[in-house]
Structure 1
Amino acid sequence: MTEVTAAGRPAASDRLVLMNPGPVVTDPRVRTALAGPDMCHREPEFAELMRRVRQRTTRLCAGDERHTSVILTGSGTSAVEAAVSSVVPRDAGLLVIDNGHYGERFQHIAAAHGIRTRHLRLGWDSPVDLDAVDRLLGDDGTLTHVGVVHHETSTGRLNDVAALARIAHARGREVIVDAVSSVGAEAISLAGDGVDWLAGSSNKCVEGAPGLSFVAGRHAAFEALGDLPRRSFSLDLHRHYTAQEKDLAPAFTPGIPAFYAFDTALGLALEEGREARHARYLALARRLRTGLEELGLEIMLAPEERSVCLTAIRIPEGLSYESLHHGMRESGFVVYSAQEQLKNRFFRLSTMGCMTGRDIDDFLHCLKRLLRPS
Structure 2
Amino acid sequence: MTGDVRVGTVLLTPGPLTTSARVKAAMQRDWGSRDPEFVRLSAAMLDRLRVLAGGDAEHVCVPLQGSGTFAVEAMLGSLVAPQERVLLLVNGAYGRRMAEICRRIGRDFDVYEVEETATHDPQELGRRLAGDQGLSVVAAVHCETTSGLLNPLEDIATVTRAAGRRLLVDSMSGFGALPLDMAALGISAVAASSNKCLQGVPGLGFVIARHDELEARAGVAPSLVLDLHDQARALSGDGQWRFTPPTHVVAALVEALAELEDEGGPAARLARYRGNRDALVDGMRRLGFRPALEPELQAPVIVSFVEPKAEWYRFDPFYDALARRGFAIYAGKMRELGTFRVGTIGAIDTGVIERFLAAAEAVVTEMKQKLIR
TM-score by length of 2: 0.93
Output the CA distance in 2 between the equivalents of 1:366 and 1:276: 28
Output the CA distance in 1 between the equivalents of 2:12 and 2:231: 33
Query: Could you list the per-position Cα deviations for residues 50-106 of structure 1 after superposition, in whole angstroms to 9, with x for gaps in the alignment?
Result: 111101111221222322211111100000000001111222101010100001111
Matches within 5 A, 1:90-239: 90-226=82-218, 229-239=220-230
Output the CA distance in 2 between the equivalents of 1:289 and 1:247: 49
Structure 1 SS opposite 2:299: coil
Structure 2, unmatched stretches of 5+, are none
Pairing partner for 1:321 from 305, 312, 315:
315
Confirm whether residue 57 of structure 1 aligns to residue 49 of structure 2. Answer: yes
Q: State the Cα distance separating 1:193 from its structure 2 match.
A: 2.3
Output the CA distance in 1 between the equivalents of 2:184 and 2:76: 22
Match of 1:27 in 2: 20
Query: Could you list the per-position Cα deviations for residues 205-247 of structure 1 after superposition, in whole angstroms to 9, with x for gaps in the alignment?
Result: 0000100010002222233232x52311110110111011223
Match of 1:87 in 2: 79
Output the CA distance in 2 between the equivalents of 1:98 and 1:152: 9
Confirm whether residue 70 of structure 1 aligns to residue 62 of structure 2. Answer: yes
Q: 8 Å contact 1:190–1:217 — kept in the other structure? A: no
Q: 8 Å contact 1:30–1:261 — kept in the other structure? A: yes
Amino acid at match of 2:28: A
Match of 1:37 in 2: 30
Q: State the Cα distance separating 1:151 from its structure 2 match.
A: 0.3
Output the CA distance in 1 between the equivalents of 2:157 and 2:253: 28
Q: 8 Å contact 1:162–1:195 — kept in the other structure? A: no
Output the CA distance in 1 between the equivalents of 2:81 and 2:353: 47
Q: State the Cα distance separating 1:346 from its structure 2 match.
A: 0.6
Output the CA distance in 1 between the equivalents of 2:107 and 2:56: 31
Pairing partner for 2:240 from 240, 249, 266:
249
Matches within 5 A, 1:251-290: 251-272=242-263, 273-290=265-282
Output the CA distance in 2 between the equivalents of 1:62 and 1:28: 28
TM-score by length of 1: 0.93
Q: 8 Å contact 1:63–1:190 — kept in the other structure? A: yes
Match of 2:329 in 1: 335
Identity %: 33
Output the CA distance in 1 between the equivalents of 2:29 and 2:65: 17
Output the CA distance in 1 between the equivalents of 2:31 and 2:82: 42
Amino acid at match of 1:268: E
Output the CA distance in 2 between the equivalents of 1:115 and 1:270: 39
Output the CA distance in 2 between the equivalents of 1:190 and 1:50: 22
Output the CA distance in 2 between the equivalents of 1:129 and 1:323: 40
Structure 1, unmatched stretches of 5+, are 1-6, 8-13
| Bigger mean CA deviation after superposition, 79-88 or 30-39 | 30-39
Q: 8 Å contact 1:85–1:236 — kept in the other structure? A: yes
Query: Could you list the per-position Cα deviations for residues 273-323 of structure 1 after superposition, in whole angstroms to 9, with x for gaps in the alignment?
Result: 010000010011111111011112111111111101111001222211111
Amino acid at match of 1:249: Q
Amino acid at match of 1:28: A
Aligned residues: 359
Q: 8 Å contact 1:94–1:118 — kept in the other structure? A: yes
Structure 1 SS opposite 2:221: coil
Q: 8 Å contact 1:147–1:177 — kept in the other structure? A: yes
Q: State the Cα distance separating 1:342 from its structure 2 match.
A: 5.0
Amino acid at match of 2:291: I
Amino acid at match of 2:315: Y
Flag the 1:30–1:333 CA change in 2: closer, same or farther, 3 A: same
Match of 1:362 in 2: 355
Q: State the Cα distance separating 1:138 from its structure 2 match.
A: 1.3
Match of 1:309 in 2: 301
Output the CA distance in 2 between the equivalents of 1:223 and 1:45: 28
C-alpha root-mean-square deviation of aligned residues, in Å? 1.6
Match of 1:4 in 2: none
Structure 1 SS opposite 2:124: helix
Output the CA distance in 2 between the equivalents of 1:261 and 1:104: 31
Q: 8 Å contact 1:58–1:69 — kept in the other structure? A: yes
